[in-house]
Structure 1
Amino acid sequence: MSWLTPMMQDLLLEAFGQTLVMVGVSTVLAVAFGLPLALLLHVTGPDGLTPRPWLNRPLGLVVNAARSTPFIILMVAIVPFTRLVAGTSIGTGAAIVPLALAATAFLARLFENALREVDPGVVEAAQAMGASRSQIVLKVLVPEALPGLIAAVTVALVSLVGFSAMAGAIGGGGLGDLGIRFGYQRFMPEVMASVVLILILLVQGLQSLGDWLVRRLSHR
């Protein structure tokens, strides 16, 4: 372990912190924007509370376009927007913009699928009792779909860990950047192996936590 000098330990800790910031902040933003988007897609869909094909179809096309664009291409394509929002196109703060955008589209579809799994009978019962559309959405759809929503966030978190490593390829910081600069460019396989191990442990931890939450909520 002669390569694990105090300087390298500091670099690993700093890169790990940057990865956590990128994944954490982009996930929060993706949930904040993706859930309302999913609710809008669900409610305005053919079997929704208020079908609106003129709104649902264009919105669905936009979400699908964002989802189908490879992340590395999306990251480069929106550089002007990233620079406008973050003030720069490199660094951890800049990487959050494309990460959040990609995760929002991804989560919107996963959330929509979770909402579709809600028993229609529960919604019909709420309508029969005179609940308004907003009450049905906030007090029936979201609570009933909560295990599925948590599972969707878990999937997004795991994907974002991989995306954050990819962001390091263009100066986004984090473990991916450290692995490329030291493990690949400076021919230090020990650093690359350490980065891969940390990413695997991080993904496993996030997946286990998400699965535990889903089990808890499914048996409430």
Structure 2
Amino acid sequence: MHADWHTFWPKVVDATGETVYMVLVTLALSALLGTGVGLALHTTRKGGLLPSRLVHTVLNALINVIRPVPFIIAIVALSPVTRSVVGTMIGTDAAVFPMVVVATFGVARIVETNLLTVEPGVIEAARSMGAGPLRIVVTVLIPEALGPLVLGFTFVLVALIDFSAVAGTVGGGGVGNLAMTYGYLRFDTSVMAVSVAVLIVLVQIAQLLGNLLARKVLRR
């Protein structure tokens, strides 16, 4: 059975909107949480602003355990928690929860890695002028690493589009669900082709916007 494209395009538009919603909400939440975890990792490391071996070891272990898990497995593993928090395991909101959990730890590692590129001398200079840890983070660490951080978040944004497609195949909504329900299960290659095209366009837009923003930040 093939789709009637005169009536099917609204479904494509709705699915694209759901994907954009999942990606943007996840990006906002994971950026906030992941940046906090990444800053904690950087500041608590040996020689950091607030060194703490225990905190750094625990956070580092969590990231190393969660990051390698394939997203499709993470969705299944987190499903009981998702049901408890969201109330359901189906739909876009249910897909956002595991996406945020997984993306947070990916963002944390990206933030920590980029903060490590800041010259130690700049931090020491701020310390010698009496700046406290919070002031150094806000006025030195983040501004100095902002360009690479924007590129890192662009990478995360593209990865989240992929996550949303995976989530859609297990009832998460969006373009992935459209491709699975109306394309794969109905053997309709036209729906699959359109779904792939939509995802490619979304990725290209995300990459373009990220590159433009990073270029603007780096020129400051």
TM-score range, shorter chain: over 0.9
Alignment map for 1:34-45 (pairs within 5 Å): 34-45=34-45
Unpaired runs of 5+ in structure 2?
A: none
Letter in 2 for 1:77: A
1:175 corresponds to which residue? Answer: 175
Task: Give the share of equivalent positions with the same residue, in percent.
Answer: 43
Aligned to 2:67, the other structure's residue is in SS state: helix
Shift of 1:47: 3.2
> Residues of 2 paired with 1:6 and 1:139: CA distance?
55
1:165 partnered with 2:165: yes
- What's the CA shift string for 1:141-182, capped at 9, x where partnerless? 111111121111100110010110000111000000100111
TM normalised by structure 2 equals 0.96
Q: In the TM superposition, what are the counterparts of 1:129-140 in structure 2 within 5 Å?
A: 129-140=129-140
Q: Give the secondary-structure state (helix, strand or coil) at the position aligned to 2:187.
A: coil
Letter in 1 for 2:149: L
In the alignment, what sits opposite 1:55?
Answer: 55
Distance 1:106 1:50 in 2: 22
- Which residue of structure 1 lines up, in the alignment, with residue 201 of structure 2? 201
Deviations 1:163-209 (A, max 9, x none): 10000111000000100111111111011001101101110110111
Question: Match for 1:12: what amino acid?
Answer: V
Mean alpha-carbon deviation: is it higher for 6-15 or for 34-43?
Answer: 6-15
Deviates more, 1:35-44 or 1:54-63: 54-63
Match in the other structure for 1:156: 156
Q: TM-score, normalised by structure 1?
A: 0.96
Structure 1, unaligned runs of 5 or more: none
Shift of 1:7: 2.3
Count of residue pairs the alignment pairs up? 219
Q: Which residue of 2 aligns with 1:141?
A: 141
Superposed CA deviations along residues 70-92 of structure 1, whole A, max 9, x for unmatched, are: 11111001111111111111111
> Do 1:111 and 1:148's aligned partners in 2 also have CA atoms closer than 8 Å?
no
User: Structure 1, residues 41-78: CA drift from partner, whole Å, max 9, x if none?
Assistant: 00001231122111101111011111011111110011
Q: Does 1:99 align with 2:99?
A: yes
Q: Which residue of 1 aligns with 2:16?
A: 16
Ranges of 4+ aligned residues in structure 1 off by more than 3 Å:
none
Which residue number corresponds to residue 76 of structure 1?
A: 76
More displaced 10-residue stretch of structure 1: 101-110 or 62-71: 62-71
CA apart distance, 1:6: 3.4
Q: Is the 8 A contact 1:111 1:149 kept in 2?
A: yes
Task: Give the equivalent residue in structure 1 for 2:214.
Answer: 214
Question: CA–CA distance in 2 between the matches of 1:174 and 1:6?
Answer: 20
